[in-house]
Amino acid sequence: MAILTPATVSDAESEQALLNAAPLSVGRLSRQLFTVPVILSTGFLALVLLMAIFAPLITKISGWGPYTFDPSAVDSATGGVPLGSFGGIGSRHWFGVEPQNGRDIFARIVYGAQVSMLIAISATVLTATLGVVLGMLAGFFGGVVDQVISRVMDFLMAFPTLIFMIALLSALPHINRPLMLIGVLSIFGWVHMARIIRSQTMSLARREFVEAAQASGASRAAIIFREILPNLSGSIIVIATLAVPNFIGVEAGLSFLGVGITPPTASWGQMISASVPWFTAVPSYFLIPGIFLFLTVLSATIVGDRAQKLIAEGGRL
C-alpha cells in the first residue's frame, strides 16, 4: 500500500546517481544546505522534537497537563463551547481548550508531538535496520538467500496492509497502541528500504574495490562492513529521513479513523477527528492540531528531499 511506502529514491537512474556522484565543494554544499526552506523546516522540526522531549517540563510551566479538565473554561449553557474568543485562547490556556471537557489544547499538542515522534522515529529505526540487513544479505549472497528474501518482499508489497492494520488494531483494543503501531509499521515498512539496498549492494559487489578486497583474502564480514556498508550510508539516510513524515502521517491517519492512538492518550490525528463536529463553532480546535501535523510532515519532507538531492550530487555522507 502506498500509505506505508516512503517516497524516496526508487528508480535505477537515481540509485546509480547515488553511487557515482562526485563530491560537492564546501561552498556549493553550504548554498544547497542553508536555504530558507531548509532552515525553517529544520528549526520547526527541532521545536517539535524539543516539545516531545521536554513535554512534562513544558506543561508544568504552562500550568495545565494533557489530562486536566477545566470546567470553568467552557460554557455549559451552550453545550460546552469554550469561553472567550478563538476557542478560549488566552493567558491561562495558550492554545485554548477542548469543547465540553476544557482540556488544555497546548498540553495536548505537546504530548501529541511526543507520541508522533516516538512512533515515527522508532518505526524508522526498525525499518531501516531490517531493510539494510535483509537487503544487503539478498544483494551480496544472491542465490537462495536472494530468492527467499525477494519472495517475502513481493508478498508484503502485494499484501493489503492498510486493511490488515485497521482490522488488527480494531481486534486488539486493549493492547499497548504505540508499541503495536511501531511493530506493525516496521513489519510492513522495511520492504522499500530493502529493495533499494539490495539493488545497490548487487552493484557495489561488482566494483573493483570489492573484488580487490576479495582477492586480498578479506572475509565476507569485512567486505560487507568495511567496503559495502559505508557506500550505502547516503541512501540509508535519504530513505530514513523521508520515512519519518510518512510514519507520522500514517499514525495520524489511523488515529483519525479511531484505530490508532486511543483516548485519553494525546494524538494529533485523534484531536482532528474529535474536532470535526465542532469545526463551525470552534475552528481553532481543528486548525491548531491540523497546522502542527501539516507543518511537521512538510518540514520533514523538505529536509529529506534536500538530503536526497545533496547525496545524489555529492556522494555518500
Instruction: Find the range with the poorest average confidence among 49-58, 69-78, 160-169, 198-207.
Output: 160-169
Place of cell 510551566: 61
Any idea how long the chain is?
317
Instruction: Find the range with the poorest average confidence among 16-25, 35-44, 107-116, 143-152.
Output: 16-25
Which has the higher per-residue pLDDT, 268 or 172? 268
pLDDT for residue 172? 80
Helix 55-62 crosses helix 105-141 at what angle (to 10 degrees)? 170
Rounded Cα gap, residues 95 and 87, in angstroms: 8
pLDDT over 90 (residue 164): no
Q: pLDDT-based confidence at 27, cuts 50/70/90?
A: low
Which of 156-165, 245-254, 256-265 holds the top average pLDDT?
Answer: 245-254
Rounded Cα gap, residues 292 and 269, in angstroms: 10
Helix 12-20 crosses helix 229-256 at what angle (to 10 degrees)? 130
User: Amino acid letter at 196?
Assistant: I
Average pLDDT estimate for 59-76: 90
Rounded Cα gap, residues 221 and 229, in angstroms: 10
pLDDT over 50 (residue 11): no
Share of the chain above pLDDT 70, in %: 88
Query: Angle 310-311-316 (CA atoms, 0-180°, nearest 5)?
Result: 140
pLDDT over 70 (residue 292): yes
Rounded Cα gap, residues 287 and 35, in angstroms: 28
For the chain, what is the mean pLDDT? 85
Domains in the chain and their CATH numbers?
A: 18-314 (1.10.3720.10)
Average pLDDT estimate for 135-148: 92
Rounded Cα gap, residues 231 and 128, in angstroms: 15
